[in-house]
Amino acid sequence: MFSFFKSNPSKKLRKQHDEKLEDAMNAQRNGDIQGYAMLTKEAEEIWAKIDELEKQQA
């Protein structure tokens, strides 16, 4: 009945994903390729969690 009060966990993960990608972009611009690779990998792991959550909800 009040499902609109429930928080959406994928929304929080999407925000984290966007922040990781932005951090990765800044690392790449500053010449930190290892940092870029690490942050991109973390962003991909977060995206996998988002994908898994959305499959469970469907």
Confirm whether 38 is domain-assigned: yes
Give pTM, 2 decimals.
0.83
What pLDDT, in 10s, does the model give residues 3-43?
666 778 889 999 999 999 999 999 999 999 999 999 999 99
> How many CB atoms sit inside 10 A of residue 19's CB?
13
Cα–Cα nearest to 53, from 20, 12, 25: 12
Query: Count of domains in the chain?
Result: 1
Confirm whether 11 is domain-assigned: yes
Owning domain of residue 35:
7-57
Residue-level pLDDT at 52: 94
What's the one-letter identity of residue 56? Q
